[in-house]
């Protein structure tokens, strides 16, 4: 019984990475990769994406983008529970409006 109470609940998140063709551009975001990440909440999901795509040995072989850097956008789709967009700013991940992608 105690084990069930202390076990962390994790969910699978559908995450899409958007990047501009060149670093530091503010327009022209394109989808570069889509994957499923398991985590307890959005913060955990964002941290694991950042860790995975900033270490050359962890980056998937079919990834065509560059390292995750300032200005890149992550889209987390939870189906009926909502859609969330986060942009990497100098101070960390910040929730944004989807209009910025277009």
- Residue 45, token pair as written in the block: 């999901």
pLDDT at 5: 54
C-alpha to C-alpha distance for 25 and 7, rounded to whole angstroms: 42
Q: What is the mean pLDDT of residues 7-23?
A: 88
Q: What is the pLDDT of residues 58-78, one digit of tens each?
A: 999 999 899 999 999 999 999
Confidence of residue 33 (pLDDT cuts 50, 70, 90): very high
Checking if the pLDDT of 99 tops 80, the result is no
Q: 41-69: b or e for each residue (b if 16 or more CB lie within 10 Å)?
A: ebebbbebbbeebeeeeebeeeeebeebe
C-alpha to C-alpha distance for 70 and 47, rounded to whole angstroms: 14
pLDDT at 100: 66
State percent of the chain over pLDDT 70: 89
Q: 2-12: b or e for each residue (b if 16 or more CB lie within 10 Å)?
A: eeeeeeeeeee
Q: What is the pLDDT of residues 36-54, one digit of tens each?
A: 999 999 999 999 999 999 9
Checking if the pLDDT of 84 tops 90, the result is yes
**Top-confidence residue, 53 or 1:** 53
Residue with tokens 């962390």: 8
C-alpha to C-alpha distance for 89 and 85, rounded to whole angstroms: 13
């Amino acid at each position: 019984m105690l084990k069930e109470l202390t076990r962390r609940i994790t969910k699978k998140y559908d995450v899409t990475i958007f990047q501009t063709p060149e670093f530091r551009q503010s327009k022209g975001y394109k989808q570069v990769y889509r994957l499923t990440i398991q985590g307890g909440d959005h913060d955990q999901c964002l941290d694991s994406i950042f860790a995975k795509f900033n270490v050359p040995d962890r980056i998937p072989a079919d990834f065509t983008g560059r390292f995750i850097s300032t200005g890149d956008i992550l889209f987390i789709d939870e189906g009926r529970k909502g859609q969330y967009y986060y942009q990497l700013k100098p101070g960390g991940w910040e929730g944004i409006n989807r209009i910025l992608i277009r």
